[in-house]
Structure 1
Amino acid sequence: MGFLGDLGGLIMTPLYYAISAVLVAWHWLFEKIGMNPDSGLIWVLSIIGLTLTVRAALIPLFVKQIKSSRNMQLIQPKVKELQKKYGHDRERLAQETMKLYKESGTNPFASCLPILIQMPIFLALFRLLDHHAAKGDGKAFITPELATSFQNAELFGIPLKATFLKADGDVAVMIVAAILVLAMTATTFTTQRQLMSKNMPADALSGPYAQQQKLLLYVLPVVFAVGGIAFPIAVLFYWTTSNLWTMGQQFYVIRNNPAPGTSAEKAKLERDRAKAAKHGKTLAVEAAEVVPEEEARPQQQRQQPKKQTKKQRQQGSGQRPVPKPKPEGGTDE
């Protein structure tokens, strides 16, 4: 336990400092624009600011996740062919599958990376707020004064440090906590459902990748719902905001850059055709407005040049006619 505790501290301590630095920076910023530093609203906004900062930093990882997920979808027919060919030999199947992943630049675990990266951050924030700030003692950049401020902060009479399990019979706290837990669960489910229903081709809905996505679709919301009743209300704001960011970011990517062979791609093609048709109609109207003006202009008939003889052409160019050579033995007349 001592070694594991030291290892955990070695991993979590840098996160405590990084997260508390961002959280305190947002708190300082809102205080400078005139907000009450001890209000619940400034702490909620600071947590939302922390969420947006973390998610913005994870955008490159999200882009990598999208590319890898798309590759996983596109290679599913090839994966199925390998399963038919080497289904009797698991070792060979695993080797050929990994070879296919390597050739296509696909990481089968990339879809889980954003969640895996966020979990230590979420855990660090949870411990900062629930184990330290809620008890009035500081940690990292959260000073004892800031910890006391958070400990007493309320939003519409609801303490931010309160949880569903530690509501002490306060019905209002239980209702607000339950609403946030449901929001966190619903946004998690909707985000995963959106990915499967709109941005996965039909061939990919029956393979092992689809099974993995279906597992995440139903397991993750349950995990968050069960664990959410123990999260402080302040932490629930973090995860719900993060889910809303993910939902909006994913909606933008699916709408503007869908995977081939998906319903999202069909919808985008229809929108593009509608825009093209509208644009073409506008050009046709503009052309129709220009044509009458051109027709109204009098058109001059082009005169055809008259055919000239060789002598006339030579005279016109200033050249003298060349005399014809006399026949041999002839006489002048």
Structure 2
Amino acid sequence: MDTILSPLYIAVSWIIVQFHSFYSLIFDKDSGAAWGLSIVSLVVLIRICLIPLFVKQIKSTRNMQALQPKMKAIQERYKNDKQRQSEEMMKLYKETGTNPLSSCLPILAQSPFFISLYQVLNHIAQNKVVGVIDQPLLESAQKAHIFGAPLAAKFMDSAEKIQSLGASVVDVRVVTIIMIVLMSASQFYTQRQLMTKNVDLTVKTPFMQQQKMLMYVFPIMFAVFGINFPVGVLVYWLTTNVWTMGQQMFVIRRNPTPGSKAFEERQERLRAAGKIVEAPAEIAAKQAAEEARQNRQQPKRQTKSKRQTGGAPAGGAQNRTRAGSASGGSGSGQGAAKKQSLEKKDTQDGKGKDGASASRTTKSGQRKGQQRPKHPTKK
């Protein structure tokens, strides 16, 4: 392993030494600040170089989200033929230009540097020269402590080994626990931010379930493996998590996924700033909908007595009764007029029925070749 990664050991140790030389102008060369900031600067330099891969990761993640419905359809269609299913999946990836591994590129590209830093710090803990770190720099690094914990110390180290680095077991374990908790919490928040703000909520896909699972799996993994990391590696990993979190917040705010909560918030900000001008038809439709909502009246609640009488108010019947009694003798005249009106209506209805019957008879006679009967003359 050392032979294969030896060039990376040299590269990582050289970068750390260069940053250490710079920070030694500000802090004591044997202090934890000088060596700790050198590791932080190494992270920043690596992450800046990985920005193009991060952009590619974002695009790949969005493409995978958009392809989830089609992928699910392929899985359902060829669920009994795994080979055909794989062929159709690869065909879909090729047609859309999507690479499922692109979302893992930043982690994969960062892994060699992470392993190299781990080995460099492990050599320092074992008092071994590594890369461009010679014996004077090795002694300086061993004296460097961050809040009382040596850079090369681990949570699981024995008391004798920790004392040989000039520290106590309590200091090392307290510092490592705090850093592991912060590292896991930053990873959880980063994944949760992605799930709650930058996912298209209109499409429910298995990809969302996978992301939700990773939101809990990654922090647990960091907590389990973190107890075997040296303090310097914990500084490295905590710094890269904080960088990822800030970088993701920037991307979500400036370039969110369409259909996500962050996208709606960005549209509202642009609309408030006047940078988005809606079409007149959309504005008129929204205004009409708002006016209709405001003008819509709720039906008045009726009492039990009104519902039983078909909604007619009881006071109206009383008023009509009073009006009838007040009219006196005119009531009988109105009754006679009403009777005549009913008789007239019955006569008209009878004529209407006779006319309809005669019309049907006439049409039937015409179909059979008969002559149209003449109506008797009215006297």
Same-fold status (TM-score > 0.5): yes
The answer to whether structure 1 residue 159 and structure 2 residue 150 are counterparts is yes
The residue that corresponds to 1:224 in the other structure is 222
The equivalent position to 2:60 in structure 1, one of 59, 68, 74, is: 68
The aligned amino acid for 1:263 is: K
- Give 2:335's aligned residue: none
Who is 1:98 aligned against?
A: 90
Match of 2:183 in 1: 184
Runs of 5+ unmatched residues, structure 1: 1-7, 280-333
Task: For 1:99 and 1:278, locate their aligned partners in 2 and report how far apart those are by CA, in whole Å.
Answer: 38
Q: Does 1:77 align with 2:69?
A: yes
Q: Percent identity?
A: 48
Q: Among residues 16, 23, 26, which one is paired with 1:30 in the alignment?
A: 23
Residue 190 of structure 2 aligns with an amino acid whose one-letter code is: T
Task: Find the aligned partners of 1:234 and 1:10 in 2 and give their Cα distance.
Answer: 23
Q: CA deviation at 1:11?
A: 3.4
Return the alpha-carbon distance in structure 2 between the equivalents of residues 261 and 185 of structure 1. Answer: 29
Deviations 1:273-306 (A, max 9, x none): 1211899xxxxxxxxxxxxxxxxxxxxxxxxxxx
Aligned residues: 270
Name 1:213's counterpart in structure 2.
211
Query: 2:192 aligned with 1:199, yes or no?
Result: no
Match of 1:288 in 2: none
Between structure 1 and structure 2, the one with the greater Rg is: 2
Q: Residue 111 of structure 2 aligns with which residue?
A: 119
In 2, are the aligned partners of 1:135 and 1:151 still within 8 Å (CA)? no
Q: Which whole-Å CA distance do the structure 1 matches of 2:60 and 2:173 have between them?
A: 40
Tell me if the contact between 1:135 and 1:147 (Cα under 8 Å) persists in the aligned partners.
Answer: no
Is the contact between residue 167 and residue 173 of structure 1 (CA under 8 Å) also seen in structure 2?
no
Partners of 2:247 and 2:63 in 1: how far apart?
Answer: 19
Q: Is this contact kept in 1: 2:147–2:175, CA < 8 A?
A: no
Q: Which runs of 5+ in 2 are unaligned?
A: 160-167, 278-379
Cα separation, 2, equivalents of 1:42 and 1:150:
9
The question of whether the paired residues in 2 share the 8 Å contact of 1:184 and 1:243 is answered with: yes
Name the amino acid aligned to 2:113. Answer: I
- Where relative contact order (Cα < 8 A, 6+ residues apart) is larger, the structure is 1
Q: SS of 2:100's equivalent?
A: coil
Pairing 1:252–2:255 present: no
Could you tell me how far 1:129 is from its partner in structure 2?
0.6
Matches of 1:11 and 1:22, distance apart in 2: 19
Cα RMSD for the two superposed structures: 2.2
Distance 2:13 2:171 in 1: 29
Matched with 1:285 is: none
What SS class does the counterpart of residue 116 from structure 1 fall into? helix
Partners of 1:41 and 1:166 in 2: CA distance: 23
The CA deviation at 1:113 is 1.9
**8 Å contact 2:253–2:262 — kept in the other structure?**
yes
One-letter amino acid of the counterpart of residue 190, structure 1 = Y
Mapped partners of 2:134, 2:214: distance in 1? 38
Instruction: Indicate how the Cα distance of structure 1 residues 249 and 167 shifts in structure 2: closer, same or farther if over 3 A, else same.
Output: farther
Matched, 1:276 2:268: no
Q: How far has the Cα of 1:110 moved from its partner?
A: 1.6
8 A contact 1:189–1:221 mirrored in 2: yes
The change in CA–CA distance for 1:116 and 1:214 in structure 2 (over 3 A counts) is: farther
* Corresponding position: 1:18 with 2:16: no
TM-score, length-normalised on structure 2?
A: 0.67
**Distance in structure 2 (CA, Å) of the matches to 1:180 and 1:222:** 14
Query: Is 1:128 matched with 2:120?
Result: yes
